[in-house]
Amino acid sequence: MPRSIPPRSAPPSNGGQPPQAIPPGRPVRASAGPVRPTPVRSAPRPAAGGNGRGGGYPQQGALASGGRGGRGGSNIRIRKGRVAGVIAVLVLLAVLAWPIGLLIWANGKIQHVEALSGADNTPGTTYLLAGSDARGSGGIDDSTSGARTDTIMVLHKPRSGPVALISIPRDTFAEMPDGSGSNKINAAYSYGGAPMLVQAVERLSGLTVDHYVEVGFGGVSGVVDAVGGVRLCYPDDVHDVKSKLKWEKGCHVADGKTALAFSRMRYSDPKGDIGRAERQQQVIAQIGKKVADPGVLLNPASQVGLADAGLAAVVTDTDTGIIDIAMLGLAFRSANGDDGVTGTPPIATINYRTPSGASAVLLDENQTGEFWAKVRDGEYAAGEKIGGVPGS
């Protein structure tokens, strides 16, 4: 029972009558006398009853179901939720860590070279792709020594309009940027490496190169094998000694070695360098299709195999990394799709004789300027095949 509060003494008042005792259990009203501070309780006193200590404690069942002594069901449920949350976070981290780690690893495999000219930017984004036949790149050895560029492609993504992929024939007669006069454009690479090739292409096209990407031919072969081969088509039988291509007319699934020879063959092609450029675009387009296959794209083993096979033979300018190469891949795929534009610059003849008597490809100077301006501004219709030999 609550304790009774004894009567409080106070100075006589009202004629000296003593104050009345405060009944037990009644609250004490403030008086004129000194006020004692009331202690602050951390929690209200439990209701009376149960154990004779002024309030009832939780019964044994309450303790078992979640009181302090039992650590029961509600806490177990909370712990299970926390464990599930931790597992979810760990899974998310693992999912994010794999592609990030793959990007870092892949980026470290890229070799870099000083290549860009520093010229004023032109609208859009321009990539220069060079297929290098440098010794040791895995290319097919023949009687030619030194480094060459059998493949020269300009991939341009305009501010608006379709992405364009333009193959520049390696024998295109063009002005050399070192002031030595005109020569086959791939001679620029032989004489001055990537920087001179970039400048020669910029002078020819009027476009400033934003990204330079050079691929050794061995990389093409390795990537084709990594995706399990690609389906290629050619309408004639071929037995070309120099490229070592043996081909039965029609469409076949080619392995890396065959795809490489397919992309390099030109002496057995009636269209020569122009036909080779078309087949190179076909090879790269088919690689793009296989890489985009979810079975390849989402397979970690395939991802590592592709990166290892392709990037080991890749050289870029110093500012281009793996993200830029990924963007190039997307633009390349777009150019080879229904919404893209492909072709070569307008050609006057493929049998031009240079002053030194060499055979070269001569561009049509009356159309070339307008051609590159329309590529730059995205003015060609999507799906259009542009340039090429007159009447083709």
Which comes out higher in pLDDT, residue 322 or 194? 194
Helix/strand/coil for 62: helix
pLDDT tens by residue, 240-294: 988 889 999 999 999 989 998 998 888 888 888 788 888 888 888 888 777 766 6
Residue tagged 């929690």 (tokens): 43
Q: What is the mean pLDDT of residues 341-357?
A: 91
Q: Considering only CA atoms, which of 256, 257, 258 is closest in space to residue 248?
A: 258
Q: What is the pLDDT of residue 210?
A: 96
Using the predicted structure, report yes or no on whether residue 54 has a pLDDT greater than 90: no
Q: What whole-number distance in Å separates Cα of residue 197 and Cα of residue 189? A: 5
pLDDT of the residue at 138: 45
Q: What are 256's two structure tokens?
A: 């890396």
Can you give the pLDDT at residue 44?
Answer: 52
Rg (CA), the chain: 41
pTM given for the model = 0.66
Provide mean pLDDT across the span 220-235.
87
Across the chain, mean pLDDT equals 76
Closest CA to 236 of 246, 249, 247: 249
User: Residue 319: which of 107, 132, 99 has the closest Cα?
Assistant: 107
Q: How far apart are CA 227 and CA 223, in angstroms?
A: 6
Tell me if 175 sits within 8 A of 181, measured CB to CB.
yes
Q: Is the pLDDT of residue 137 over 50?
A: no
56 vs 47: CA distance, rounded Å: 7
pLDDT for the residue 225:
85
pLDDT band at 104 (very low <50, low <70, confident <90, very high): low
Which residues in 52-176 belong to E strands, given as ranges? Answer: 111-113, 125-132, 149-157, 164-167, 173-175
- Higher per-residue confidence, 36 vs 203: 203
Find, among 221, 166, 188, 196, the residue nearest to 371 by Cα.
Answer: 166
pLDDT reading at 62 higher than 50: no
Confidence of residue 8 (pLDDT cuts 50, 70, 90): low
pLDDT for 272 equals: 81
Mean pLDDT, residues 114-119 taken together = 93
- Whether 153 and 165 have beta carbons less than 8 Å apart is answered as yes
Asked whether 198 and 225 are in contact (CB, 8 A), the reply is no
Q: What is the pLDDT of residue 89?
A: 64
Burial (CB count <10 Å: 0-12, 13-18, 19+), residue 169: buried
More confident residue, 1 or 170: 170
